[in-house]
Structure 1
Amino acid sequence: MSDQLGTSDIARLLGVSRPRVWQLRKDPTFPESAGRDEQGREYWYESQILRWAATTKRDLAARAPLLFRPASGQGAYYLGTSMVDGYVILNWDSELGRICFLYRPRGMEAGRIVHALNKLLPKTGADAMVGMDAGFHDAWGPELRAVDKAHPDRHYHPRWTDLAQLLGMPVPYWPSGLTIPREMARWRPGSPPLVLPPRHPALDTGPLLRLVSDSPDGSTVAAAALELARAIDAQAAMGARSDIDLLDEAHDREAITLAATLLQVEEAPDVEEYWLRDGWAQILKRTDRLAEDCVDLALRWNSGRYFPFSTPNHLDPERSAEAAEFISRLQPAERTAAAQVFDDWTTAGYWTDPATDLPVITTPEGEAWAATPQRLPAQSPLHTVILRDQQVWIRTSDGTLYLAPEDGDGLTWGYRGNGPTTLAMLLNRLLEDINAPAVRSLREEQPNPGLLRMAERVPQDEGGVFTRDQLISARNGN
């Protein structure tokens, strides 16, 4: 509530005339003005006026938010939790009416709290509904937003102390990552904090753990699935710890009770990358729904870091002879979990590239999309690089054509920027080792100056073809 209110604004807020406001200002309890505007006129903040009306003037109290009004101290009766539209609602029956505090198990998106309050207020029978505005913390603690049934168009910022004095008890606080509905239903006033394992608000690790339990002990599949589940849980734990630390710094800490705390688990040992890549390679070849769910989680978590491929590439045989050659060698295939990389695209057929065993789809419109390798399974060295139609192709000395490896920044040319820099770094790697991994980050190494100049000078529209000898010459500064 940062709007500056003048006399007319206060009159509208309280539903009285301007002369009445002038009379009220003579009351010694009337709040001091918050300052003067550029014209020298005094102004007040809405919260100042409403808090004063709630506690001082009985005939004006009805205009004030319910949570600003004083309570007798008899306390409220806790009614437990309910689920409404995917939200967990904590309910109290207080002397001033039904109070509801909402939580979203998947986490509240910043700025969405007002929408949630408006949506749930008429569905819960609440006289006042409260929730936290995610991502914002003020001096008193996690920032609260509230709305009353009596004034559904007005949202306000109560303090935790406001809510606690009405409830007659500290308000339960659930850190992010610990808002598990069945556990929240167990909480009762006065109970010690529940000790819970973390749960990511947006990613359900259940499919990964089911895959672990269904896989042989010691298998790479189990290792890959468990490593991802632990990584997701670790981020959830970090969020919960951050929330708890912030809570301990809050000025209103005594008005807040920690409803749940984090179960401490041993840090998982690192898993070798080759082990993870083997496990995901096996998962990607499966055709069951569980494997698809796990692949979807990996894509959402880190874009499939340990997959043998990265983002799909559009192939246009009319614009590129290389794309036509690539498409001509494809073989029909059944759908596997690897098809999740194509998201929810409408698909007419599934194919595989026999040179890389990577997935390709065709659409009803006849378009082809191929998963881009993260490294090439080639057996012979680089022979030629083809830059065509915004795609980079690699032909090895045995004549096999590949899409160039990508993982992160795209491969482009014809200007100064990340794309040509990434291309120069990749070409330098492939000259040394055809099986080298794609460039994940520009911080991994410095590009070769000669290859970088070449990549920056190739015409964007025309592209170009460069032999191994030409690349080596450019690398040597010739």
Structure 2
Amino acid sequence: MGVSHSHLTKVEVQQLLGVNAFGMWRLARKYDKFPKPTEKANNPFNRNEAQEVWDGTQVYSWAAGTEEFARRGALLLRPLPNHPASGRWLGYKDTLRGPALDWQTDLGVIRLVHCGDSRAATDVASAIAGNGNNDGVVTVCALYGDMGFRGPALVAADTTHPGIEYEASWGDVAALVGQELPWWPDLLRLPSVIREWKPEAQAAVVEVPANDNEKILRRVAANDVFDVSSRAAARDMANSIRNDRIDHTNHEIEIFCKDGFGESPNQVVAGAVPDTSHHPLPCDRDRQALQADWLRLALHTHPDAVAALEVAVGRDPALLPFGAVTEIPVQPGTVSGRWTQRLTMCDPTAAHAVVAQDSKAEAFFVDPLTDMPVLRTPGDGGTQVWRFYAPLCLPAGGAELASVVLHHTVWVTTSDGHVHPAPCTPTEHLWWGDGWGDRASEAAAVVDQLLDNLGTTVNLHQHYNAPRA
């Protein structure tokens, strides 16, 4: 998103402005605001010599606001006609960067691409220029992805200089067109929807499409290999995702289609609104029941359980009984070696698959005291590593904290002779020493809480208040 920047050599600036070498020399002396070179680039003809380059957007925008060079500057930044005739809608166009609408104006055809991706304006304008520009398009506008003072922010690229992008005003384009311009929220920016739009049409009511995560969860909810309760847990999260996407779309419309400031309303209208006939979908099951359901999915071996668990770990990790992912080298004879001696080999579950991520697992284990999934992988460079979820809490059984050992992570020894990886929340990590800005407060907070109660579920929301000694 945003304006992509290009650089012009001295010769290219001269060609853009229609001046010779002397005229170029004169510019910097006549105009205080003429852009200065922004960086040095290697001269392709002499590697030992650097050449000056200018920011293309700055030069092109400066020219549009300078009377002597206005006709060579950015089209939509030049002074607009005093009383432009109302434009004419020319219909929908397919482009290599998505849906677009063409408008005939006093300046020529303006193509508005409803895409907020980087370089969308340049790519479409370049394609037009390269194919002969049979439609007479003078400039291409694409969405900036932000809100301007007079409507959605725009990025423009003129077909005469498609490699140079600049910011344009939605209000200026609307003035040239002579009417409100349609805008579609991101999730409803569908070619099939935009093709159906016509001036003065009511906003289309469109079902918000499901994203990949929702599709995965709906598939799990319909798969009778899982128990009814686990399927309901997947459906609950799928409904939550759908509700969030509809709410997000409505919020976008409120922001981008608002009335504007002062006496001049923004010339923007929503081309589509989300279908809310069944909104919101139910997603309010008891959290404790949901946690039990997701644990069953985590212990399942079906591929759909793996896919669902990956969604849940990213969306709501607190539903799962797993702390932060931890990785340590395989080192017998150390404190971690004492812990790995009690691990039990097992068949892989969905939890093992998710904790593995892109690692190749050699063997799968479970910690019989905490039920945490563990796997052994070759690691980088062939050095074997253990990869596991830290527990959320430790089995106390009347024991107390005996000692803490810092060895790749934080280890806890207890008064009943056990060794455990220290508990940690899903979204934190345990660190000490110089961590490039990290502090030891998370580890200190965990130790402080375990001193009070070995079996506590640690809370790191205010770890920065951990005791210093």
TM-score by length of 1: 0.69
Q: Does 1:244 align with 2:254?
A: yes
Aligned residues between the structures:
410
Residue 151 (structure 1) aligned to one of 161, 178, 191? 161
Matched residue SS, 1:309: coil
Residues 210-250 of structure 1: per-residue CA shift (max 9 Å, x gap): 32344689725423552365157426624641552353153
Give the alignment partner of residue 314 of structure 1, picking from 327, 335, 343. 327
The equivalences for 1:245-394 within 5 A come to 245-250=255-260, 253-264=265-276, 265-266=279-280, 268=282, 270-302=284-316, 304-318=317-331, 321-338=334-351, 339-364=353-378, 365=382, 366-377=384-395, 379-394=397-412
Query: Structure 2 vs 1, CA of residues 293 and 180 (structure 1 numbering), >3 Å: closer, same or farther?
Result: farther
Give the whole-Å Cα distance in 2 for the aligned partners of 1:317 and 1:154: 55
Any unmatched runs of 5+ in structure 1? 3-7, 22-32, 38-43, 454-478
- Structure 1 residues 101, 317: closer, same or farther in 2, change over 3 A? closer
> Is 2:244 the partner of 1:234?
yes
Query: Is this contact kept in 1: 2:141–2:154, CA < 8 A?
Result: yes
1:310 is paired with a residue of what secondary structure?
coil
For residues 419 and 64 of structure 1, what CA distance do their matches in structure 2 show? 50
Aligned residue among 93, 111, 115 for 1:99: 111
Distance in 1 (alpha carbons) for counterparts of 2:310 and 2:232: 16
The answer for unaligned runs of 5 or more in structure 2 is: 6-10, 25-30, 36-57
Equivalents in 2 of 1:337, 1:185: separation in Å?
43
Change (3 A) 1:372 1:415: same
Contact 2:60–2:73 (CA under 8 A) maintained in structure 1: no
Q: State the partner residue of 1:409.
A: 428
How far did 1:144 drift? 0.5
Which of residues 442, 447, 469 in structure 2 aligns to 1:427? 447
Q: Kindly, what percent of the aligned residue pairs are identical?
A: 20
State the alpha-carbon separation in 2 of the partners of residues 350 and 83 from structure 1. 50
2:143 equivalent to 1:132: yes
SS in 1 for 2:390: strand
Question: CA, structure 1 residues 78+414, in 2 after alignment: closer, same or farther (shift >3 Å)?
Answer: closer
| Change in CA separation of 1:355 and 1:118 when aligned onto 2, cut-off 3 Å | farther
Q: Match of 1:219, SS?
A: helix
> What SS does structure 2 have at the residue aligned with 1:76?
strand
Aligned-partner Cα distance in 2 for 1:76–1:63: 26
Question: What is aligned with 1:465?
Answer: none
Task: State the shift of 1:306 in Å.
Answer: 1.9
Deviates further, 94-103 or 320-329 = 94-103
Amino acid of the structure 1 residue aligned with 2:18: G
Contact 1:10 1:49 in 2 (8 A): no
Partner of 2:38: none
CA shift for structure 1 position 173: 0.8
Q: Residues 418 and 278 of structure 1: is their aligned pair in 2 closer, same or farther, counting only changes over 3 Å?
A: farther
Report whether the alignment pairs 1:212 with 2:212.
no
| Alpha-carbon distance in structure 2 between the residues aligned to 1:262 and 1:373 | 42
Q: 11-20 vs 314-323, which deviates more?
A: 11-20
Q: For 1:245-290, what per-residue CA distance to the aligned partner results, in whole angstroms no more than 9, with x for missing partners?
A: 3531536754322112344434856443322221221222233333
Structure 2 length-normalised TM: 0.71
- Residues 1:344 and 1:188: Cα distance change in structure 2 (over 3 Å): farther
| C-alpha spacing 1:434/1:173, structure 2 compared with 1 (3 Å) | same
Shift, 1:317, TM fit = 3.9
Given the superposition, is the C-alpha separation of residues 185 and 204 from structure 1 closer, same or farther in structure 2, using an over 3 Å criterion?
A: farther
Partner secondary structure for residue 329 of structure 1:
coil
Shift in CA distance, 439/342, structure 1 to aligned 2, threshold 3 Å: farther
Residues 316 and 49 from structure 1, CA distance in 2 versus in 1: closer, same or farther, beyond 3 angstroms? Answer: closer
Aligned alpha-carbon RMSD (Å): 4.4
**How far is 1:19 from its partner?**
11
* Deviations, residues 321-350 of structure 1 (Å, cap 9, x unaligned): 221123233333343322223322233333
Tell which deviates more after alignment, 256-265 or 413-422: 413-422
The offset of 1:141, in angstroms, is 2.2
